[in-house]
Amino acid sequence: MKIKFLTSLTLSAFAFFVSAQKPVELSLKLRDGSNVSGTSTMADINLITDYGKLVIPTKNVTSIQVGIPTDKASYDKAKSFLSQLGNTNEEVRRAAYEELVKIGIKAIPAISDYINDPKNTDEYNGEFTPDNALNELKSNANVDEYTDGKDIIDIDGQYTIGGTYEFSKIEVKTEYGNLSIPKEKIKSIDVMFISGDGSNEFSFKLVASKNISANTAGGWLKTGIKLKNAQHFTITASGEVVLASLSNQKYKPDGSYESSTGEKYPTTTDEYSSTTTYPAYGNVVYKIGEASTTALKAGAKYSGSATSAGMLYLAIYETVYNASNTGSYNVKVSLK
């Protein structure tokens, strides 16, 4: 997995003292394939990176991809059982193998390190081998080749950074009661910060070289805002982008544009009813839910209610994606 690190200026903006627990809405995907949604509290995230500790404010966290957790006790315990898998006695190997699998996902880092260490040249026969133990544990924990060893934090839907987010469990209040979910059971977490003053306003940047609705490789920006059905929200946008896919014309969020020769044109939405949801080129558009294929017009200013429940996604409308696009829109989303 490629990690895009924040600039030093952005990092310093995030680095301040950890504050108290803050209310959040969470949507968790568990490793067994089930989903859990509810409310909880979360302090600003202490992320241990290769470059030092980073404190990320809760309100800026969009999602968390949970890596493969481990701890020293589990690591050392796994190593002791791994050393017994080369024993000539099959019953000793069987017992060590079974104990190794009982450790669960936390044994995976130790087994991987053991297998990749050139000093471990023992030959293993039969079914009780480190490779078989690794494959069984990965299967049990739903871990594939795309699972990162680190925890990956998505910030403002624009930046990702990897490290170790140290927590043992998450307490979630659901409509079916309170749940306490251990870290090793969690695959990913979508986070929506709930402002204590009731005025939830979020800021995002749509980059023309990436956040195009036609870009099938991450063109839609995941805001981390989970809308409820009929919930009122507003979207306002400003800025300018140059769309190489449209003869390098300059566009604004309302769809107005300037040709490469300097001639200016009003928004193309004038061709349609002012209440249409059909977007024009250059418009800010939104959709609700990752699976949705409908790009709804927001333009420079939109106020309305969600017609379904789900995560809010934003993009710049264009039917062709060109990575040579330049410029960006600054977008604010407010929730009632």
In a shared domain, residues 87 and 227: no
pLDDT > 80? residue 53? yes
Statement: residue 121 has pLDDT above 60: yes
* 61 and 86 inside one domain: no
Identify the pLDDT of residue 229. Answer: 87
Q: Is residue 110 part of a domain?
A: yes
Which residues, at least 6 apart from 258, have a Cβ–Cβ distance to it below 8 Å?
A: 249, 250, 264, 265
Per-residue model confidence (pLDDT) at position 220: 95
Statement: residue 195 has pLDDT above 70? no
pLDDT of residue 19: 54
Q: What is the pLDDT of residue 5?
A: 45
pLDDT of 249-271, one tens digit each? 999 999 999 998 888 888 754 44
Q: Could you list the residue range(s) of the whole structural domain that residue 41 is in?
A: 8-67+148-193
**Do 43 and 166 have their domain in common?**
yes
CB-neighbour burial class of residue 217 (10 A; exposed 0-12, middle 13-18, buried 19+): exposed
pLDDT of the residue at 275: 55
For the chain, how many structural domains are there in total?
Answer: 3
State pLDDT tens for residues 223-247. 878 888 888 999 999 999 999 999 9
pTM as predicted: 0.65
Determine contact, residues 271/259, Cβ cutoff 8 Å: no
Q: Which of 295, 309, 307, 303 is nearest to 334 (CA)?
A: 303
**CA 221 – CA 329 distance, rounded (Å):** 12
Whether residue 94 sits in one domain with residue 182: no
Q: Is the pLDDT of residue 310 over 90?
A: no
Q: Taking every pair of C-alpha atoms in the chain, what is the biggest distance, in angstroms? A: 84
Q: Comparing C-alpha atoms, which of 149, 226, 159 is closest to residue 189?
A: 226
Q: CA Rg, the chain, in Å?
A: 24
Same domain, 61 and 186: yes
DSSP-assigned beta bridge partners for residue 313: 222, 287
pLDDT bin (cut points 50, 70, 90) of residue 197 is low
Reply yes or no on whether the pLDDT at 196 is more than 70.
Answer: no
